[in-house]
Amino acid sequence: MEFLAESGQKIWQVLPLSPTGYGDSPYQCFSAFAGNPLFIDLRALLEQGLLSADDLTNAPTFPEEYIEYDRVIDFKQRLLRTAARAFLEGSAQTDRRLFVTFCENNSDWLDDYALFMACKRVHKDAAWVHWDAGMRRRDPAALRKWKNELSSEIEIHKFSQFEFFRQWENLRARCTRRGIRIMGDIPIYVAHDSADVWAHPELFRLNEQGKPTAVAGVPPDYFTATGQLWGNPLYRWDVSAISGHRWWIDRVRASLKLFDLVRLDHFRGFEAYWEIPGGASTASGGKWVQGPGAEFFRILQTELKELPFVAENLGVITPEVEALRKQFGFPGMSLLQFAFGNDPQGPTFRPHNYSRELVAYTGGHDNDTTVGWWTSAGVGESTRNAEDIRDERDFTRAYLGFHNEPVNWVFIRTVLASVANIAIIPLQDILGLGSDARMNLPGTVSGNWKWRYKQKALTKEIGEQLRRLTLLYDR
Residue 222 clears pLDDT 70, i.e. is over it: no
Residue 379 clears pLDDT 70, i.e. is over it: no
Q: 284-305: string of b/e by CB count within 10 Å (b at 16+)?
A: eebeeeebbeeebbebbeebee
Q: Are strands 272-277 and 287-290 parallel, antiparallel or unpaired?
A: antiparallel
Q: With residue 253 as reference, give the H or E element that holds it.
A: helix 246-258
Predicted pLDDT at 316 = 83
Residue 378 clears pLDDT 90, i.e. is over it: no
Residue 315 clears pLDDT 90, i.e. is over it: no
Predicted pLDDT at 199 = 98
pLDDT in tens, 334-359: 999 999 998 888 999 999 999 999 99
Residues in Cβ contact with 89 at an 8 Å cutoff, skipping those fewer than 6 apart? none
Average pLDDT in the 86-101 region? 88
Q: Which of 55, 366, 388, 391 is catalytic?
A: 366
- Mean pLDDT, all residues of the chain: 95
Q: Which of 312, 368, 381, 429 is catalytic?
A: 312
Average pLDDT in the 457-475 region? 97
Catalytic residue status for 312? yes
d(CA 295, CA 300): 9
* Pick from 415, 414, 325, 343: nearest CA to 382: 343
Average pLDDT in the 140-168 region? 97
Residue 124 clears pLDDT 90, i.e. is over it: yes
Predicted pLDDT at 342 = 84
Catalytic residue status for 265? yes
Q: Which residue ranges make up each domain of the chain? A: 25-179
Average pLDDT in the 447-473 region? 96
Q: Which of 250, 260, 265, 303 is catalytic?
A: 265
Q: Of 86-95, 139-148, 269-278, 376-385, which gets the smallest average pLDDT?
A: 376-385
Residue 380 clears pLDDT 70, i.e. is over it: no
Q: 371-387: string of b/e by CB count within 10 Å (b at 16+)?
A: bbbbebeeeebbebeee
Predicted pLDDT at 220 = 83
Q: With residue 152 as reference, give the H or E element that holds it.
A: helix 151-177
pLDDT in tens, 5-54: 999 999 999 999 999 998 999 999 999 999 999 999 999 999 999 999 99
Higher pLDDT, 228 or 212: 212
Chain Cα centroid distance, residue 430: 20
Predicted pLDDT at 381 = 60
